[in-house]
Amino acid sequence: MVTNTRRAERHEGEPEVVELNPVFARPGESTAIPKFDFPSDEALPETAYQIVHDEAMLDGNARLNLATFVGTWMDDHAARLYIEAADKNMIDKDEYPQTAAVETRCWTMLADLWHAPDPKHTIGTSTIGSSEAAMLGGLALKRRWQHARREAGKPTDRPNLVLSSAVQVCWEKFCNYFEVEARYVPISLEHKVLDGHDLETYVDENTIGVVAIMGVTYTGMYEPVKQISAALDRIQESTGLDIPIHVDGASGGMIAPFVQPDLEWDFRVPRVASINTSGHKYGLVYPGLGWVVWRDVASLPEDLVFKVSYLGGDMPTFALNFSRPGAQVLLQYYLFIRLGRKGYETVQRTSRDVALYLSGEIAKMPAFELWNDGSDIPVFAWRLREGHTANWNLYHLSERLRTKGWLVPAYPMPADLTDLTVQRVVVRNGFSHDLASAFLADLRDEVAYLDALTGPMPAEGHRSGFHH
């Protein structure tokens, strides 16, 4: 426990008294602190620290969070770098030219990893996450389409973007904020992902692009980029429309190159104009980092790019936010050079092995039916087997698991499949085989508890769990 030692006021002739004033019992600590009114008084740093520390302690245990894709563990060297670099602002390229140079190295490495035709002569940027990266990708598609339309003397007022109904919310935001009509292709039991079927009924001359997701948030499944591209080739042959693809590789962009190196989903597919990923997901960095890379400089319209001069040259910048932390970029570079292709492959394959083990065991449980098994990204979802029980549902199970500390969200599938509820596990670095076994034991216990109920659970479990 932190204690506060101070010398009490000493009067002549009295022995020196050291007053031990333990935290939690000092003036101001035995009463509630203001929560919403701006505090009028100061507090000792130890007091303020302890209060904030204790508030944070009430959050869930990040390592038991099977809902998030975001990194919750880095090694001690990364922790040291993080503290050393906490003050760096990514936008201050004048003050932190080396961090800016490292940023460029990182996205150039990603361009290489994703088979850009000429990685050293393309363009990319770090962002605060995949959402910002996706918006930049979308904006570039929109602007390219606008330029082409204006050149052809055609109107530019009704752009649309074609995407799966299972896109992450960042794409709904993009379409809303930047006034682009979202054309959702519904997923179904036959077409569990956007796979190019019926695409010709969604695209037209106002389509700025098609989004393909490598690692659908709801289930972890890959969308077949090459197959989508082939459908667009056929559309081009019959209509002349040349529609680019943006790949949302928020998770899969850092899995596929290592686990499925032969799968062609990236710049090997000529129609892919840009790719985003989250450094803070399977890039293995703490939250606050995304990346977007374009196939080549021409894929990013120049009028979206601002030039800043530093290091004696002109550096292009394209981002929504101005200031943002630079530390995460250094952490990403640390991991790129620390792990390399070999290390990333080991880490990601280990996560996938754990996912396959877990999904295999869950498939054996009579209560469940798998939606997918985690062989794309190490993420999989299951549903309650039809007819298994009328007494409980996956929301109840989610709540029961929460009492053991596990966060495993249950949620409805997107439009047209909303009657279907699934539960999902995201396996990340740090979710070891042992932890997975402990989770399985708790899952079996909780299912046995629910199955033993003689009547229905009183109320449907609350829709807990943040799954995007």
Ligand X SMILES: Cc1ncc(COP(=O)(O)O)c(C=O)c1O
Q: Which residues contact ligand X by CB under 6 A?
A: 69, 129-131, 134, 168, 170, 213, 215, 217, 248, 250-251, 278, 290, 468
Q: Which is nearer to ligand X, 129 or 257 (CB)?
A: 129
Helices (H) and strands (E) in the chain, counts: 10, 15
Q: Are 171 and 247 in contact (CB under 8 A)?
A: no
What's the closest the beta carbon of residue 133 comes to ligand X, in angstroms? 8
Mention every residue, 6+ apart, whose C-beta is less than 8 A from residue 11.
Answer: none
Angle formed by the axes of helices 327-363 and 76-84, to 10°?
Answer: 150
Q: Which is nearer to ligand X, 235 or 245 (CB)?
A: 245
Q: Which is nearer to ligand X, 103 or 248 (CB)?
A: 248
What's the closest the beta carbon of residue 171 comes to ligand X, in angstroms? 7
What's the closest the beta carbon of residue 214 comes to ligand X, in angstroms? 8
The strand pairing partners of 185, in sequence order, are: 164
Q: Which is nearer to ligand X, 425 or 447 (CB)?
A: 425
Count the neighbouring beta carbons within 10 Å of the beta carbon of residue 450.
17
Tell me the three state secondary structure of residue 388.
Answer: coil
What's the closest the beta carbon of residue 197 comes to ligand X, in angstroms? 20
Q: Which is nearer to ligand X, 388 or 468 (CB)?
A: 468
Handedness of CA 62, 64, 67, 68 (dihedral sign): positive
Element (H, E) at 126: strand 123-127
Q: Which is nearer to ligand X, 391 or 464 (CB)?
A: 464
For residue 282, the one-letter residue type is Y
What's the closest the beta carbon of residue 300 comes to ligand X, in angstroms? 19
CA distance 181 to 424: 30
Q: Which is nearer to ligand X, 230 or 320 (CB)?
A: 320
What's the closest the beta carbon of residue 220 comes to ligand X, in angstroms? 9
What's the closest the beta carbon of residue 127 comes to ligand X, in angstroms? 8
CA 325 to chain centre: 17
Per-residue HEC secondary structure of 137-182 comes to HHHHHHHHHHHHHHHCCCCCCCCEEEEECCCCHHHHHHHHHCCCEE
C-alpha triplet 325, 137, 425: angle, nearest 5°:
70
